[in-house]
Amino acid sequence: MNLRKRLQSISVSDFGLVSMILAILLTISVLGLPLTERIFLERTGAEGRATLRLAVASLQATIDRFEPLPALIAERPLVAAALGNPQSASTIAALNSSLERTAQELGASDIYVMDREGLTIATSNHALERSFLGRSFTFRPYFTEALDGVLGRFFALGTTSGQRGYYFGAPVWSEGRVIGVVALKFTLDGFEAAWRRSQSDILVVDQAGVVFMASRQGWQLRTMGELATEDRAQIVRTRQYPLDRLLPLRQVREEIATDYALVRIDDGGFGAYYVTSTIAMEAVGWRAVILTPAGPRALSALMLFVATVVVLGLLIMQLIQRRARLRADQEAQRQLQDLLERRVAERTTDLDRANANLRKEIEERKGAEQRLRKTQTELVQAGKLAALGQMSAALSHEINQPLAAVKTYAENAGTFLDRDRLPEARENVSRISKLADRMAAISAHLRNFARRPQDDVGPVEVQQSIDDALALMQARLKETKGSVIYDRPAEPVWVYGGQLRLQQVIVNLLSNALDAVEGQRAPKIELVLDDQDVDRVRIVVRDEGDGFDEDALAQLFDPFFTTKAPGKGLGLGLSISYNIVEDFGGRLHARNREDGGAEFSVDLRRAEAADAEDQVPSSGIAAE
Ligand code: ADP
C-alpha cells in the first residue's frame, strides 16, 4: 500500500537527517578533540609542574644543607695538622676517625681530605675496602676549584664506588694559602626512590644534557640529545660519567604552552607520550624535568568526550525517531481522513445520482398519472357514451312502447269522444299524460348522463341518486323480469359526492349485477343503504350470480378488464366507478358472498344536511 511506502520514505529521509547529525557530531568530535586534549594536557602539565616544584625544592634543600659543611670541616685544626704533617700516623688516624664520625652524623656518603697534589690523606671510609686513602682526585673539578680557593661542586659517578654522588670541595686555608681540600660526597638515591612512588617520572639533567638523576632507572645517565664535543671532552677529562652509558633518549617535542610540552619518548618498544615541564635549578646549573604519561589521561578524556557525543547523538536520534513516528502517524491519519472524505464524496455523488433518478422517476410517474387521469376522464366519457349506446336500444323499446300506447290511447279517446263517453275519454287522456311524463323523465336522464360531470364534490342525498339509478334501470329490470330489493330509509342520508356520478356508479353496479344473474328466472338484486355508522355511509349491491374467480377479483377495477362477450362489455364500468368513488373520498370494494354471488360496497363520507346549501331538488331528475 502506498501508506507503507510513505512511511518508508519518511524513515529514509530521517535516516539522512540522522546521518547528517552524526556527521556533524563526528566533525565536532574531530574538531573538538584537540581542544579537549589540550585542556587535559594543560591540566596534567600544571599538576606535574606542582609536583616538580616540590621535588626541586626538596632536592635543593638537601644540597643547600650540605653546601657549607666541607668549609666548616676544613676549618678544623686537625685537618690542617694532618695536612701539615701527613706522616704522623696518629694524626691521620685521629682525622680518619673524626671524618668517619662526622660523615655518619651528617648522613654524607664520604668525607675526605686531599693535599695540594690531590692525594687523599684521610677519609671517612678509611676502614672500607673502597677506601679513598692514597687515591688522587685531581681530575675532578671540585678539587681544582677548591684549590683555586672557591667552593667546588660536582656531580659524578664515583670512580671508586661506582655510585652517583654530589661532591663539594672546600679549600683548607693556612696562613692565607690553600694547603689542601676537604671533599664531601653525598648520594641522591633516596630522592629517586621517593620519585618512583609518583605517577610521573622526574629527571634531573645537567648542563651538558646528561640525565644524572631519574626515577626510571633505565633513563639514568642517558642524554637528552647528542652531546656537544667540548662537553664530551670535559666528561672524559673529569671522568664524570662512563661514556659508553651516555646514550641519547630519543624524543620528539611539541610545545603545548609556555610551561608545558608534549614529548614522545622512543625508548625501545612503543613510544609513549608525556606531558613534560621543566624547572631550572640555577644555583647548581641543572634543570629538573617531569614527565607525566599523557596517554591514559588523554584516552580517558577522549573516551569521556566520545561518550558524551554518543549519548548526545543517541538522544538526538531518539528525538528524530519520535518525530518521524509522529509524522508517520499524522500522515496515516491524514490519508485515512482523505479516504473517508473521498468515500463520503463518492457516496454523496451516488446519493445525488439516485436522488436525481428518483426525481426523474417521480416526474415521469406524475406525467404518467396525468396522462392516465386524462385518459380516465376521457374513458369516463367514453364509458358513458357506451352505456348510452347500450341503453338506447332499451330506451327505444321503452319509448316505442309508451308511444304505441299513447297512439292507442289517443285513438281510443277519439272514439270515446265520438261516442260521447267522456269519462273514458278523460281516462285515456290522463293515461297519455302519464306516459308522456315518464318519457320526459327518461329523456332527462339521458341528457344528464351524456353531460360531462363537474369535479366538485359536495353533499348529496344518497336516496336521490339511488332513485334515479333505479328509474334508469327500470326498463332492463322489466325486460329480465328482475327485481331490486331495496329498503329505502325515510330520512335523507347525505354524503360527499356528485349526484350524477354517484347515480352512475349505482347504475353500473346494478347493471353488472343484472348481467351476472342473466338467465335466472325472476332474479333478485339486493340494494342496501346502510347509514348506521357516524362517519360513513355504505351502499351495498348483492346478487346471486356466480361471483368472481381469483383472477377476476384481482383485476376487477383495472380498465378494460371484462369477461363479457365482445360488444357486450367494455371493461370500463368498474374502473370508472372506482375512480369516481375515490374522487368522493370514499372506497369501492368487491367480494364474493359466502352463500354465492357477488357483493359490491360503496363507502362514502357522511355529510351534514346543513352543508347542502345548493342541494338539488329531491323530486325530478337531478342535475349536476
Ligand atoms: P363490463 O361490465 O363492461 O365487463 P365492468 O368494469 O363493469 O365492465 O366489469 C368488469 C368485469 O367484472 C365484468 O366483465 C365481470 O367479469 C366482472 N363483474 C362485474 N360485476 C360482477 C358481478 N356482479 N358478478 C360477477 N362478475 C362481475
Assigned C-alpha cell, 68: 657549607
DSSP assigned state of 381: H
- Quick one: 530 exposed, middle or buried, by C-beta within 10 A (0-12, 13-18, 19+)? middle
Ligand 1 atom closest to the CA of 543, numbered from 1:
23
| Distance between Cα 509 and ligand 1 center (Å) | 9
The per-residue pLDDT for 435 is 84
Residues in the chain, how many?
Answer: 624
Amino acid 613: pLDDT: 47
How many CB atoms within 10 Å of residue 374? 10
What distance in Å separates the CA atoms of residue 37 and residue 46, rounded to the nearest whole number? 14
| 543 within ligand 1 shell (Cβ under 6 A) | yes
**Sequence-separated (6 or more) residues with CB below 8 Å from residue 384:** 449, 450, 504
For ligand 1, whether the C-beta of 100 sits within 6 Å is no
pLDDT tens-digit series, residues 174-208: 888 999 999 999 988 888 888 988 888 899 998 88
> Ligand 1 within 6 A of 564 CB?
yes
First to last CA, the chain: 78
Ligand 1 touching residue 555 (CB < 6 A): no
- Report the nearest atom of ligand 1 relative to the CA of 597: 24
Packing angle between helix 573-583 and helix 295-418, nearest 10 degrees?
110
pLDDT in the model for residue 216: 86
Q: What pLDDT band is residue 387 in, cutting at 50, 70 and 90?
A: low
| DSSP bridge partners of 287 | 205, 280
pLDDT at 469: 93
pTM over 0.85: no
CA dihedral 470, 600, 543, 467 (to 10 degrees): -10
Ligand 1 within 6 A of 604 CB? no
- Does the beta carbon of 598 sit less than 6 angstroms from any atom of ligand 1? yes
Contacts 24+ apart (CB under 8 A), 275-282: 275/41, 275/44, 275/45, 275/48, 276/45, 276/48, 277/45, 277/48, 277/49, 277/52, 279/49, 279/52, 279/53, 279/56, 281/56, 281/59, 281/60, 281/204
CB-side neighbour CA atoms (13 Å) of 399: 12
Q: Would you state the cell numbers that stand for residue 597, as one nine-digit string?
A: 354471488
pLDDT given at position 618: 38
Whole-number Å distance between alpha carbons of 109 and 107 = 7
Contacts of 215 (CB under 8 A, 6+ apart): 192, 195, 196, 198, 200, 201, 202, 203
Q: Which pLDDT belongs to residue 297?
A: 56
- Does 393 score more than 80 pLDDT? no
User: Is residue 1 classed as helix, strand or coil in its secondary structure?
Assistant: coil
| Atom nearest to 563 CA in ligand 1 | 14
C-beta atoms surrounding 153 within 10 Å = 20
At 153 the three-state DSSP class reads strand
What is the Å distance from ligand 1's center to 370 Cα?
Answer: 26
Work out the mean pLDDT of the chain and round it to a whole number. Answer: 84
pLDDT of residue 314: 83
- The answer on pLDDT for 2 being more than 60 is no
Ligand 1 neighbourhood includes 520 CB (under 6 angstroms): no
**Which CA distances in Å does 492 have to 440, 470, 486?**
25, 17, 15
Question: Where residue 439 falls among pLDDT bands split at 50, 70, 90?
Answer: confident
For ligand 1, whether the C-beta of 525 sits within 6 Å is no
In single-letter form, the type of residue at position 224 comes to M
Question: Bigger pLDDT: 250 or 509?
Answer: 509
Nearest to 123 by CA among 52, 193, 181: 181
The number of C-alpha atoms within 13 Å of 55 and in the hemisphere containing its C-beta is 33
* Mean pLDDT within 128-157: 88
Dist. CA 123–CA 120, nearest whole Å: 7
Q: Is 561 in the pocket of ligand 1 (CB under 6 A)?
A: yes
- Quick: pLDDT tens for 246-294: 888 887 777 766 777 778 887 665 567 888 889 998 888 889 999 888 7
Q: Which atom of ligand 1 is least distant from the CA of 570?
A: 3
User: What pLDDT shows up at residue 441?
Assistant: 64
Minimum-distance ligand 1 atom for the alpha carbon of 561: 10
386 lines ligand 1 (CB under 6 A): no
The C-alpha angle with vertex 212 and arms to 207 and 215, in degrees rounded to 5, equals 130
> Measured in angstroms, how far is the CA atom of residue 515 from the centroid of ligand 1?
8
**Which of 515, 517, 544, 550 to mutate to test ligand 1, by most ligand atoms within 8 A of the CB atom?**
515
Please determine, for residue 614, whether its predicted confidence score (pLDDT) is greater than 60: no
Residue 440 has pLDDT above 80, yes or no: no
Instruction: Please state the atom number of ligand 1 nearest to the C-alpha of residue 574.
Output: 6
DSSP state of 244: G
Ligand 1 close to Cβ of residue 379 (< 6 A) = no
Q: Relative to the CA of 572, which ligand 1 atom is closest? A: 6
Q: Give the pLDDT score at 620.
A: 34
- The CA distance from 517 to 512, in Å, is 9
Q: Which domains does the chain have, with CATH numbers?
A: 67-187 (3.30.450.20), 454-612 (3.30.565.10)
pLDDT at 623 (0 to 100): 37
Can you read off the three cell numbers belonging to residue 600? 359490491
List the single range of 130-134, 324-328, 563-567 with lowest mean pLDDT. Answer: 563-567
Say if residues 424 and 416 touch (Cβ distance below 8 Å): yes
* Burial class of residue 133, CB neighbours in 10 A (0-12, 13-18, 19+): middle
Q: Is the pLDDT of residue 612 over 70?
A: no
Q: Which class for 121: exposed (0-12), middle (13-18), buried (19 or more C-beta within 10 A)?
A: buried
Determine the average pLDDT of the residues in 73-99: 92
- DSSP letter at 617 equals P
383 Cβ closer than 6 Å to some ligand 1 atom: no
Mean pLDDT of 332-338: 94
pLDDT of 49 over the 50 cut = yes
Q: What is residue 619's predicted lDDT score, i.e. its pLDDT?
A: 35
pLDDT of amino acid 617:
40
Question: Given this model, what pLDDT does residue 327 score?
Answer: 92
Atom 25 of ligand 1 has which residue's CA nearest to it?
547
Mutate to test the pocket of ligand 1, among 514, 574, 593 (most ligand atoms within 8 A of CB): 574
* pLDDT at site 621: 35
User: Would you state the pLDDT for residue 266?
Assistant: 74
Cell of 486: 331495496
In the structure, what pLDDT confidence band is assigned to residue 138 with cuts at 50, 70 and 90?
Answer: confident
**Does residue 578 sit in helix, strand or coil?**
helix
Q: Are 289 and 216 in contact (CB under 8 A)?
A: no
Task: Return the percentage of the chain with pLDDT > 70, whole number.
Answer: 86
Which residue among 512, 546, 560 has the greatest number of ligand 1 atoms within 8 angstroms of its CB, and so is best to mutate? 512
Q: Going by CA atoms, what residue is nearest to atom 21 of ligand 1?
A: 512
CA of 89 to the centre of ligand 1 (A): 185
Ligand 1 center from residue 556 Cα (angstroms) = 7
